Structure 1
């Protein structure tokens, strides 16, 4: 009888840990929403501005965004199973869209404001979808 009680107690603690991990893993959704919002600023800077001043503003803004998000992520204690794969796929998707937006899009569509707006939304799409799916899984 005592063994059964110990087993039930262990299962209860395991369920509690899983529940806590799911609730605390919502930080990644906030991380991705901030990254998506950053794209709405960074992509127009990269597409519309020209010259060395734009390169410096882009580099500083991007460094601040990446540093802030990296510090925030490093301070989190909980990472869900499959986090590395999900993050890798999301960042790979974002990098592909970003590279296409900056290189091909700028060469083909020029430096127009409509293209910058569409490019910014396209670059923000991958992190926004990742944040949405993370919010659904954290509940």
Structure 2
């Protein structure tokens, strides 16, 4: 049968695996910080730049940012329980704020630099909050 030594060894291995998972799960906080930083460039670009060249530049910058962080996320081996729901809520909040910012920026605050700064900060807020909470969970 199994002895106390076998049980202790299994518990020690489980604890070591949990410590490793916590140590490696900090990648999501970095992902969110990069995405939040991107808002400081992309939101003002979307609100203040006009014309074909602006649209092309915005599209390329967004593609580079999203592709880069998506490739980074896809290469991570550790995903903590509840990640899908947490990520869905954060991205949903960001999408709602981003959509509202673009809508109000195009209809009410046309070419307002002040609004562009406020909108960029608002769009980054759920991402920053998520990064801070994730850093707490991983330590």
TM-score range, shorter chain: over 0.9
Q: Trace 1:82-93 onto structure 2 (pairs within 5 A).
A: 82-93=82-93
Residue 79 of structure 1 corresponds to 79
Residue 27 of structure 1 corresponds to 27
The DSSP-based 3-state class of the residue aligned with 2:108 is: helix
Partners in 2 of 1:123 and 1:5 — Cα distance? 53
Q: Does 1:129 align with 2:123?
A: no
User: Deviation of residue 41 (structure 1)?
Assistant: 0.4
RMSD: 1.2
Q: Does 1:120 align with 2:133?
A: no
Partners in 2 of 1:107 and 1:125 — Cα distance? 23
Partners in 1 of 2:115 and 2:90 — Cα distance? 23
Q: Does 1:101 align with 2:78?
A: no
The DSSP-based 3-state class of the residue aligned with 2:3 is: helix
Residue 43 of structure 1 corresponds to 43
Partners in 2 of 1:127 and 1:23 — Cα distance? 21
Q: Which runs of 5+ in 1 are unaligned?
A: none
Deviates more, 1:61-70 or 1:106-115: 106-115
Tell me the TM-score normalised to structure 2 length: 0.96
The DSSP-based 3-state class of the residue aligned with 1:109 is: coil
User: Deviation of residue 106 (structure 1)?
Assistant: 2.7
The DSSP-based 3-state class of the residue aligned with 2:79 is: coil
Q: Is the 8 A contact 2:105 2:116 kept in 1?
A: no
User: Deviation of residue 2 (structure 1)?
Assistant: 5.2
| 1:85-120 superposed Cα distances (whole Å, 9 cap, x missing partner) | 110000000000000000123312222100000000
